[in-house]
Amino acid sequence: MISREPTLEHLATARSLLLEPFGLDESTLQRALAAIATHRVDDADLYFQTTRSEGWSLEEGIVKSGSFSIDQGVGVRAIAGEKTAFAYSDDISEASLMDAAATVRTIAAAGQNRRVKVARAPSVARSRRLYGGIDPIGTLDSTQKVALLEKVERLARARDPRVKQVMAGLAAEHDVVLVARADGTLAADVRPLVRLSVTVIAEQMHDGKVRREVGTAGGGGRFGLGYFHDAIIEGYVRDAVDAALTNLESRPAPAGEMSVVLGPGWPGVLLHEAVGHGLEGDFNRKGSSAFSGRIGQRVAAKGVTVLDDGTIPDRRGSLNVDDEGQPTQRNVLIEDGILRGYIQDAMNARLMGVKPTGNGRRESYAAVPMPRMTNTYMLAGDRSPDEIVASLKRGLYAVNFGGGQVDITSGKFVFSASEAFWVENGKIQYPVKGATLIGNGPDALTRVSMIGNDLKLDTGVGTCGKEGQSVPVGVGQPTLRIDRLTVGGTA
C-alpha cells in the first residue's frame, strides 16, 4: 500500500469533508479573506471544522446511555493590533462564509472587540503524522463497545467484595479541521481521540457505620478503541479499585507547613495549573502573570526543566498543527531553573515580537484561539523514588490529585489530594484523607529539593479549561520533593 505524504493526506480529507460537499474550494476561501482585508487588519483566518463524537456509559451493571453527535461550522477572525473581530456559523456555505467575512470586516472597521454568530444557515503548512488519521468511532462495533464496558464492571467486582458500585464511560471523537490564513497558509489536520474512564465505590463497616470511598482511573489518546486491550483495562480497574480501598483505610490528614513528595505522572497537573498557565503568552503580554518580564531569570531550583511539547506521538495533548495552522513544537519553558520562554499563539507572539510556538488552540470553530498548553511536563532528575520518600522525616506523599485552582496574577494555588500517605522517618505510615496543598507556583518551584529519575506522563485523561473553553491536554513529571509547602488537613 502506498501512503501519501501526511500534509497532502490531511488536506485531501479536509477538502472532501469541509469544502467539496458545500461547493467550496480554495478560491472561495481567498475571496473571503480578501473581503476582510479591505479594511486594515494585521491578521485574518478561516477555521473550518467537522466533529463526530460518540459516548457510552455503564452504571449498575448495564449500559444506560449512548450518544452520537455531529457538529460542523466555520469561524472567521480578523485581528487589528490587540483587537479581535470574530464571527462563526454552523452553516458551511459560500453565502454564510461571505456573510461572516462581511460581519468581521464591519466589526474590525468599527474598532470593536466582540464575538457574534452569523445567523445564516496557497502555501500549504508543513504537517506530520503524530497519530493515525483513523476514525476511532468505527474501530469497534456497538456490541464490542458494550462488551468492553461490561468487562470493566466484571473485573472491578471480582477484584474485591467491598466494591459495591462501578461506573465506566467510553468516548470516541473524529475531528477534522482546515485553516486558511491571510498570509496564504493552508493547513489541515485529522484528529482521532478516545478515552475510557473507570469509577468505583467501595464500602466497609467502620466504627459501626458504613464507610464509602471512591477511586477513579482511566486513559486514552489519539488512536483507535483497540488500544483498550485486556492488559490496559485490567490496569485501569486495578488502579481505581486500589485507590478506593486505600481511602477506606485513610485517616484525617495532618495540617501545617511540611515537606511534600509528589508522585510521578498525573500529579503533574499541579505543575500545569500552578506554573503552566502562568507561562501562557497572553497573561505575560498583559503583565498579569507572576512570571511577566522574567525571561532569563531564575524562577526555579537548579535541575528543574519544564517543557510544553505538542509533538509526542499519540498523546492526548498532541497536534500535528495547532488551530492556527502552525506546526506544534517542543518548547523549553524553564531550563535548569531559568525561564526561557512563554507559550505563544500568533497574535500574542506578534505583539511581543517573538515567534509563535504552535500553541494557538480553540475549543471549536465557534471560539477564538488563544495560547494554550499541549503536553506539559518536567524532565527527570537522578534520584530514585524510594530515596526521595525515605528522605522525609515527617511529611506528605501525594500520589493522586482531584481538583485545584490557581490565581494567575499571584501564582497562588490550592489542590486537593485524592490519594496520599503520611510519612514519618522515611516510612509510609498510613493513607490520609482531606489533604489540601496550598502554595505559590513560582515560589514552590524554588523549593524543589529532589527530582526523581522516573519521569511519567499521565495516562491520557486531562482536559484544561480557560476562559470557558476546554481542550484536551497532557501532563507529567517525575517524583518530586518540595520543601515547606502548606498542607491543609482535617486532623
| pLDDT 10s digits, 99-150 | 999 989 887 666 665 555 554 446 677 778 899 889 999 999 999 999 999 9
Q: Tell me which H or E stretch contains 147.
A: helix 142-159
Average pLDDT along the chain: 93
Write down the pLDDT at residue 121: 43
Dihedral sign (CA 450, 456, 461, 466) = positive
Q: What is the pLDDT of residues 410-449, one digit of tens each?
A: 889 998 999 999 999 999 999 999 999 999 988 999 999 9
Start-to-end CA span in the chain (Å) = 64
176-209 in b/e form (b: 16+ CB < 10 A) is bbbbbbbeebbbbbbbbbbbbbbbbbbbeeeeee
* Residue for grid cell 468505527: 138
DSSP 383: B
The answer to whether residues 362 and 466 touch, using CB atoms and an 8 Å cutoff, is no
pLDDT score at 206: 79
Q: For residue 411, what are the contacts with CB-CB under 8 A and spacing of at least 6?
A: 274, 278, 290, 291, 440, 441, 442, 443
Helices (H), 4-93: 6-14, 26-36
CA pair distance 209, 432, nearest whole angstrom = 19
Task: For strands 83-89 and 209-221, give the pairing.
Answer: unpaired
Q: Rounded mean pLDDT of 194-218?
A: 94
Which residue has 490496559 as its cell numbers?
A: 232
For 157-182, the pLDDT digits (tens) are 999 999 999 999 999 999 999 999 99
Closest CA to 417 of 402, 439, 395: 402
Averaged over 325-342, what is the pLDDT?
97
CB 257 within 8 A of CB 486: yes
Question: pLDDT tens digit string along 349-362?
Answer: 999 999 999 999 99
Specify the pLDDT at position 395: 97
Cross-strand partners of 22 = none
| Greatest CA separation for the chain | 76
pLDDT category at 4 given cuts 50, 70, 90 is: low
pLDDT at 491: 64
Pair type for strands 256-262 and 394-406: parallel
Rounded-to-integer distance, Cα 468 and Cα 184, Å: 30
Strand partners, 92: none
The pTM for the full model equals 0.94
| CA-based nearest residue to 51, from 359, 313, 363 | 363
